[in-house]
Amino acid sequence: MSLLKVDDIHVYYGNIHAIKGISFEVNEGEIVTLIGANGAGKSTTLNTVAGLLKPRSGSVTFDGRNMLGVPASKVVSLGMALCPEGRRVFQQMTVRENLEMGGYTRPNTEIEPSLEDVFKRFPRLKEREKQVAGTLSGGEQQMLAMGRALMSKPKLLMLDEPSMGLAPILVEQIFDIISELHQAGTTILLVEQNAQMALSIADRAYVLGTGRISMSGPAQEILADDRVRAAYLGG
């Protein structure tokens, strides 16, 4: 059954019609990826799903619940976590404090076990536990942002450009972690510019043109499609 269903949303920035009727769904246990060029509206779509932006029309249903009008600060407690573009970790707070913020909506007794889980998945973060997040490298900050999102034990983890600005070896590491999370049962909605990488781990994919979905289907088919290859995968 579909965990997330987005139906014909239209989003505006002032007078600019950024999202012109996008529909897609994410089923429980899937990795779904939204790929597309810069400015296609990928992040806008994710931010709308997370409640940071309000669509002018259309609907977002998560876990059988209508999400329109639910403030962003309530979304996380319903089981949806967004790991935002550019990571946006709290630079002046320690690694541990960042993770604690990720578990903000959960009861205090559940924080410690979740911290242990995150540290098990990201041993690097354990080593840097008391360090201020601003001193971490880009890859470590991405791990922290993902760990922070996992602290809320989300049913749906949304990742916005996790590979941005990372060295190829780190990109591979991050994608390995995404696959691991998926195997552990987390449903993932992944937005990426690195289409090749995203398609290689995803179950299904949606290709975004400017504000519209131009193509969708199983990730392997999209990966093999000539038009996609020409537009996003460099031939």
Partner 1 sequence: MVSFLRFFINGISLGSVYAIIALGYTMVYGIAKMLNFAHGDVIMVGAYVSFCAMQYLQLPPALSVLCAMVVCTVLGVIIEGLAYRPLRQAASLAVLITAIGVSYFLQNMALLIWSSNPKVYPSVFSVGAIRLFDGELLITSETLLTIFANIVIMIALTLFTGRTKVGKAMRAVSEDKGAAELMGINVNRTISLTFAIGSALAAIAGVLLCSAYPTLQPTTGSMPGIKAFTAAVFGGIGSIPGAMIGGLLLGVIEILGKAYVSTELGDALVFAVLIIVLLFKPSGLLGKPVHEKV
- Sign of the Cα pseudo-torsion (208, 147, 169, 135, in order): positive
Query: Using the rule CB under 8 A, is 50 a contact of partner 1?
Result: yes
Query: Using the rule CB under 8 A, is 65 a contact of partner 1?
Result: no
**Segment near partner 1 (CB under 8 A), from 1-9, 23-31, 80-88, 203-211?**
80-88
In the chain, which residue ranges form alpha helices assigned H by DSSP? 42-49, 72-75, 95-102, 108-121, 123-127, 138-150, 168-183, 195-201, 219-224, 226-232
Give the residue, chosen from 56, 57, 104, 116, that forms a contact with partner 1 under the rule CB under 8 A: 104
Query: Using the rule CB under 8 A, is 91 a contact of partner 1?
Result: yes
Query: Using the rule CB under 8 A, is 66 a contact of partner 1?
Result: no
Residue 32 makes CB contacts below 8 A (sequence gap 6+) with 24, 26, 188, 189, 190, 202, 203, 204, 205, 206
* Cβ 141 to partner 1 shortest distance, Å: 12
Q: Which token pair is 100? A: 């604690």
* Cβ 81 to partner 1 shortest distance, Å: 7
Query: Using the rule CB under 8 A, is 227 a contact of partner 1?
Result: no
Task: Quickly tell me which residue has 């239209």 as its tokens.
Answer: 10
Give the residue, chosen from 8, 28, 56, 77, that forms a contact with partner 1 under the rule CB under 8 A: 77
DSSP β-bridge partners for residue 36: 208
Nearer of residues 38 and 183 to partner 1, judged by Cβ = 38
* Cβ 87 to partner 1 shortest distance, Å: 9
Nearer of residues 148 and 204 to partner 1, judged by Cβ = 148
Query: Using the rule CB under 8 A, is 147 a contact of partner 1?
Result: no
Query: Using the rule CB under 8 A, is 108 a contact of partner 1?
Result: yes
The C-alpha atoms of residue 107 and residue 113 are separated, in whole angstroms, by 11
Query: Using the rule CB under 8 A, is 92 a contact of partner 1?
Result: yes
DSSP β-bridge partners for residue 147: none
Q: What are the DSSP calls for 30-66, one per residue? A: -EEEEEE-TTSSHHHHHHHHTTSS--SEEEEEETTEE
85 secondary structure, DSSP code: T
Query: Using the rule CB under 8 A, is 102 a contact of partner 1?
Result: yes
Nearer of residues 151 and 208 to partner 1, judged by Cβ = 151
Residue ranges in contact with partner 1 by CB under 8 A: 50, 52, 71-77, 81-82, 84, 86, 88-93, 97, 100-102, 104-105, 108, 148, 152
